[in-house]
Amino acid sequence: MTAALSLPARILPNGDAALVVEFGDRVDLNLNEKVLALAERIGADPIEGIVETVPTFRSLLVSFDPTRIAFGELEQRISVLLGQARSRRRAGRRWKLPVCYDPKVAPDLEEAAKRAGLTPEGFVARHSGMIHHVYMLGFLPGQPYLGDLPAELALPRRETPRTRVPAGSVGVAQRMTCLFPKETPCGLNIIGRTPVALWDDRRPAPALIAPGDSVALEPVAFEEFAALAERAERGEPVAARFGPGPTGIAA
């Protein structure tokens, strides 16, 4: 079933070469579906002068060339698209990513489990036993923000951020999971690591995962993680895509 996007959606200027279409003020799957639906509608019927669209949790950033289209005209045309777009569960790609939750690569898992009132094994079972919706990419190129963790896994950020966590680190805070494609400072609780290259300039589309995709996390032992990491370093595929479209190893 589909339905027209429900208003209000606010269209706000963002500098002299971008605008923001804002659907709400919270992290919410229904709001995010509206963001992705509008991005999809713009992609299907391009407007002359739009440079790119960037989905976020609750809004869509639309960058444009002001020498090719004025803000007022773009605002009007997007308002029309808002009435035409459909809010629906997008047929995003589905991924299965290996994740190692071994203490060697999961320095915060034990403490995170204790805070949640679970054993480390129980925490891993809950975290890997759900399908994670990809809300957006951000902070680092190709970095997915995954939701929505159950309430018992919702943890505050670390009081003291780390100055560096390795590429592939899996971090949780509040009800979100982040997968970090590059080494970076980080204030999230690091509970595991994936060997998957989330961003690779050797690929035609460097970012593996896109907003609207869904992700299943498959626990692997440290030895398997190390072997997969070596394969990924050579550019070999280690993440399985299991729908829609062709299934099998994809990146």
112: nearest Cα among 101, 99, 98, 100: 101
Cα separation values, 235 from 26, 57, 179, Å:
38, 31, 19
Rg of the chain over Cα atoms, rounded to whole angstroms, equals: 19
Tokens of 6: 């429900």
| Last residue in a domain, options 61, 87, 113 | 87
Domain identity same for 15 and 55: yes
Residue 1 pLDDT: 35
Over 90: is that where the pLDDT of 209 sits? yes
Tokens of 251: 């990146």
Over 70: is that where the pLDDT of 248 sits? no
Residue 81 φ/ψ region, left for φ over 0, alpha for ψ in the -120 to 50 degree band, beta for the rest: alpha
Domain limits for position 78: 3-87
Q: Which amino acid is at 236?
A: E
Let me know: does 178 contact 158? Beta carbons within 8 Å: no
Domain identity same for 180 and 199: yes
Q: Return the bridge partners of 98, or none.
A: 218
Domain identity same for 207 and 230: yes
Domain identity same for 194 and 99: yes
Tokens of 242: 């299991």
Let me know: does 132 contact 147? Beta carbons within 8 Å: yes
pLDDT level of residue 51 (50, 70, 90 thresholds) = very high
Q: Is the dihedral of CA 43, 32, 185, 94 positive or negative?
A: negative
Could you tell me the CATH number of the domain that includes residue 99? 2.40.100.10
Could you tell me the CATH number of the domain that includes residue 58? 3.30.1360.40
Distance in angstroms between the alpha carbons of the first and the last residue of the chain: 32
| Last residue in a domain, options 20, 52, 87 | 87
Residue 241 pLDDT: 74
Domain identity same for 139 and 70: no
The beta-carbon contacts of 198-203 under 8 Å, at least 24 apart in sequence, are 198/142, 198/143, 198/144, 198/168, 199/140, 199/141, 199/142, 199/143, 200/235, 200/251, 202/235, 203/251
| Last residue in a domain, options 72, 87, 102 | 87
Q: What backbone phi and psi angles, to 5 degrees, belong to 38?
A: -65, -40
Over 90: is that where the pLDDT of 90 sits? no
Over 60: is that where the pLDDT of 6 sits? no
Domain identity same for 143 and 184: yes
Domain identity same for 52 and 78: yes
Provide the mean pLDDT of the chain.
Answer: 90
Tokens of 238: 């280690």
Domain identity same for 141 and 61: no
Domain identity same for 113 and 183: yes
Number of domains the chain contains: 2
Mean pLDDT confidence for 111-122: 97
Tens digits of per-residue pLDDT, 170-181?
999 999 999 999
**Among the ranges given (3-7, 104-108, 158-162), the one the predictor scored with the smallest mean pLDDT:** 3-7
Name the helix (H) or strand (E) containing 32: helix 29-44
Domain identity same for 121 and 47: no
Tokens of 194: 């994936």
Residue 176 pLDDT: 97
Tokens of 28: 């919410």
Mean pLDDT confidence for 198-221: 94
Domain identity same for 130 and 208: yes
Tokens of 76: 């009007």
Domain identity same for 153 and 46: no
